[in-house]
Chains A and B, each alone.
Chain A
Amino acid sequence: MSRLHDMGGRFGDGLIPLPRDAENEVTNFEPTFKYKWHAKAWAITLAAGALGEWNLDISRHYRECLPPKDYINFSYYEKWLAALTNLLIDKELISLNELKEYVFAAEKGTLRKFSDKDVKLDQRTWLAKDVQKTLGWGGPSIRDTNVSPVFDIGNKVITQNYNPNKDISGGHTRLPKYAMGRVGVIHSYNNNHVFPDKNAHGLGENPLPLYTVEFKSSELWGELAESQNDSILLDLWEPYLKLFPN
């Protein structure tokens, strides 16, 4: 059981939409943002996130929770905008009436931006002078805890099946459907990281051991595997894994 964003391995998708040059060769060049509104949607999302009312996992989960018909129809940044709108309302940063009022004005062409002196900046608002500093810090998910990893490198493990999120039905998880119930080998241990399955639901950071697990292509795709040699590696938290008896 999963949601539409969890699309690894599914059938039906066509050619990769690659930019090509005049000779029809794949090119490495395309603008960072194709349209001005893409840039704005992206920047507004980052700036609103900096208010501190939600974390990265919550914002991911809001995008994943868009109704399937919207998730399918929306372009990338439309998903961002829709999820941001729902977050702003749920966290009461804006009201539904305010939203309706501004949408109405936008459609009538009567949107009005207040002059700077009429705007009172919120204490939490991200200021331009702090942008480089904040980007440079980033938001590390590693936590110093005394939790020791249960598995050793080289251990054979099997991933959870069905519902990896044990607290919330249909809750956020980072174990993709295509790798559920499959046997892999612990490739490395990457310290303890904030656990998205809880953090996305405001249940605390609960940092836990994070492993990179290697799966043979044939374990994931059976006889459809392109090559017996190939493998797929995923970063998986300890609760997604159980020791697989040899």
Chain B
Amino acid sequence: MSEKKNISGDYHHQHDHAHSHLPSDPELRVKALETLLLNKGLIDSETLDELIDTYENRIGPKNGTKVVAKAWVDLEYKKRLLIDATSAIRELSYQGRQGENMVVVENTPETHNVIVCTLCSCYPWPVLGIPPTWYKSDEYRSRTVREPRKVLLEFGLPLDPKVQIKVWDSTAEIRYLVLPMRPKGTENMNESELAELVTRNSMIGTGLPKEIK
């Protein structure tokens, strides 16, 4: 025990919390920090623009819909996806930050999968982009592991009591993607038409793909 007392998990050994000096308006906080870092040459404004543009316009759930649609039409691809998702997803050129170790979990008539991160907001960026606000909310993080059925009902997804729910809490650097079941009556649709049916929530497990009317 004595050794432990000398090292604390808290980091503010040298000073009070620096963040308490920030302005109360968060917009001003960002402006102050951004300007300071820019003037010190520690960040570059073009880099910030490139990052924001990438995740606002290029990397998002559209990527994931293509992975799912391909798995629906190509059994061999689906096999590869379930065995080594990182490589199979890289075949479609989606890879990298927050998707370095991907695992795809398959929904079946017997099992429904749901993804959460109770400790922070881990989420598979290359295939789904930046997480939506609800995914990062205290409500979703706290409740999904204890009462997934109530949570799914709020999403408009009542589950048969006979279906087993598996909740995957992303506590390490593995990032999960749900492979939803292909909707009925879509036998004649091609891959790109199928991709249009896949919703973001269906790839987190909090929704289903769109039905065809």
A interface residues, Cβ below 8 angstroms from B: 5-10, 12-19, 25-26, 28, 30-35, 37, 39-44, 46-48, 51, 60-63, 65-67, 70, 75-78, 81-86, 88-90, 93-94, 96, 98-100, 102-103, 105-107, 111-114, 119-122, 124-128, 131-132, 134-142, 165, 167-172, 174-176, 178-179, 190, 193-194, 196, 201, 210, 212, 214, 220-221, 224, 226-227, 229-237
Q: Looking at the complex, which one of A6, A111, A114 makes contact with B118 (CB distance below 8 Å)?
A: A6
* 18 CB-based A-B contacts, threshold 8 Å: A13-B142, A16-B143, A26-B154, A32-B60, A37-B27, A43-B52, A44-B30, A65-B12, A70-B17, A82-B22, A122-B40, A132-B54, A141-B100, A142-B100, A169-B5, A214-B166, A227-B165, A230-B149
Q: Looking at the complex, which one of B4, B34, B132 makes contact with A30 (CB distance below 8 Å)?
A: B132
Tell me if A237 and B172 are in contact (CB < 8 A).
yes
Q: Within the complex, what minimum Cβ distance (angstroms) separates A159 from chain B?
A: 11
Contacts of B150 in A (CB 8 A): 226
Q: How far is the CA of A44 from the CA of B172 in the complex (A)?
A: 24
Contacts of A48 in B (CB 8 A): 37, 42-43
Contacts of B101 in A (CB 8 A): 140-142, 190
Cβ-based interface call for B9 (8 A): yes
Contacts of B52 in A (CB 8 A): 33, 39-40, 42-43
Q: How far is the CA of A100 from the CA of B32 in the complex (A)?
A: 9
Task: A142-B173, A221-B146 are known; give 11 further A-B pairs, CB within 8 A.
Answer: A33-B56, A47-B48, A51-B42, A60-B120, A106-B35, A169-B9, A190-B174, A226-B149, A230-B165, A231-B164, A232-B145
Most buried by A among B8, B38, B50, B200: B50
Q: Within the complex, what minimum Cβ distance (angstroms) separates B200 from chain A?
A: 5
Chain B: interface residue total (CB-CB under 8 A): 99
Tell me if B147 and A119 are in contact (CB < 8 A).
no
Q: Looking at the complex, which one of A9, A168, A170, A201 makes contact with B142 (CB distance below 8 Å)?
A: A9
Tell me if A16 and B129 are in contact (CB < 8 A).
no
Closest chain A residue, CB of each to CB of B116: A8
Cβ-based interface call for B96 (8 A): yes
Q: Within the complex, what minimum Cβ distance (angstroms) separates A100 from chain B?
A: 6
Contacts of A8 in B (CB 8 A): 116, 118-119, 141-142, 145-146, 169
Tell me if B98 and A233 are in contact (CB < 8 A).
no
Contacts of A82 in B (CB 8 A): 17, 19, 22
Tell me if B170 and A5 are in contact (CB < 8 A).
no
Given A16-B151, A113-B39, A138-B97, are A178 and B207 neighbors across the interface (CB < 8 Å)? no
Tell me if A62 and B7 are in contact (CB < 8 A).
no
Most buried by A among B34, B120, B173, B201: B173
Q: How far is the CA of A77 from the CA of B171 in the complex (A)?
A: 20
Given A33-B56, A78-B26, A82-B19, are A136 and B96 neighbors across the interface (CB < 8 Å)? yes
Cβ-based interface call for B74 (8 A): no
